[in-house]
Amino acid sequence: MVHNHTMNPKPISTDFTKLFGGIPYPIIGAPMFLVSNVDMVVAVSEAGGIGTFPALNFRPIEAYIEALKQIKSRTRRPVGVNVIVNKSNLRQNEDLKHALDAGVEFFITSLGNPKTVIDDAHKNGAKVFCDVTNLAHAKKVQDLGADGVIAVASGAGGHAGPISPFVLVPWLKKELDIPIVLAGGVAGGEGIAAALALGACAVSVGTRFIASHEAHADDSYKQAILRSTPEDIVMTAKISGTPASVINNDYVRALENDDDRTASLAASTGASAATSRPTWQNVWSAGQTVGLIHDVTPCRDIVERMAREYHDIVDKLAT
């Protein structure tokens, strides 16, 4: 389908879009390990969402500094960086400093205590949203001054939470005073409409963007996403030691059946050595939305299609 880009879909205004000076759409291109890259971040932000990437996708640190420079030279729109804030990530303070120096407006923290990121980002006027899977952690980051939370629900790719999005978002909404973004299960406009109905102010979309022209994913990975159904997504702790959602394949099945591999893999895939490619090349991280994805297309088309679908659905609901 060829879209006429002169006819951009109407904006979708929420508390989230207002936080970033009125970006058109409350769609985050989620930070994805080894997949997110400069082109994706720029494309999603330029299309009216907000592109993000994990700092650790770029090694050594010089490559990360260069990536920040490229992104900032190619878009004036807000962009985001994901910082892993657990002890094993020895680069976190440096990653934060370089992102702030480059003028990054948005941070997503994962797996630890985000206090330093929140404090330093706020000095720069940047916003920090923290990944959470339950209320206890959400309250903790709210107390630390987080600007919002990313509610990682069941169905998400990578490190998914166990709670249904239909429960997680309204539960957090009732108990928190800060905005909530839904991650998990969103690949189209219906997901945005549902998320906003549940009380979220934005969606974080990962898997849908793997099947994009810009994604740094092997063609076999993109094809696996088109081919897979929600039933092909399995949770395994055999890759990083923390349960993660991946596409089931022969390699994953072999891992699951081989107890000896677990310890050595967990040891080799800590944040410090997370680029052990041989392991990851055969492991395709993805969420249940694989069942909703049927084409590989530019990131801009994905963002605009989602916005169009959202408006169509809301109009139908209104009648």
pLDDT at 90: 87
Q: Give the confidence band of 275 by pLDDT, cuts at 50, 70, 90.
A: very low
Q: Please give the helix or strand (H or E) that residue 63 lies within, else none.
A: helix 61-74
> Are the C-beta atoms of 204 and 159 separated by less than 8 Å?
no
Q: Can you name the residues that pair with 204 across neighbouring β-strands?
A: 28, 183
What band does 58 get if pLDDT is binned at 50, 70 and 90? Answer: very high
Report the distance separating Cα 133 and Cα 8, nearest Å.
Answer: 34
Q: What are phi and psi of 177, to 5 degrees?
A: -105, -5
Q: Which among 279, 202, 288 is positioned nearest to 247, based on CA atoms?
A: 288
At 212 the three-state DSSP class reads strand
State how beta strands 202-205 and 180-183 pair: parallel
Which residues, 6+ apart, have CB-to-CB distance to 66 below 8 Å? 58
Question: For 69-123, how does the pLDDT look when each residue is reduced to its tens digit (9 = 90+)?
Answer: 999 999 999 999 999 998 888 899 999 999 999 999 999 999 889 999 999 999 9
Which tokens in the block code for residue 199?
């009380």
> Which CATH number is associated with domain 15-216+292-318?
3.20.20.70
Q: What is the mean pLDDT of the chain?
A: 92
pLDDT in tens, 118-144: 999 999 999 999 999 999 999 999 999
The domains of the chain are located at: 15-216+292-318, 228-281
256 pLDDT tier (thresholds 50, 70, 90): confident
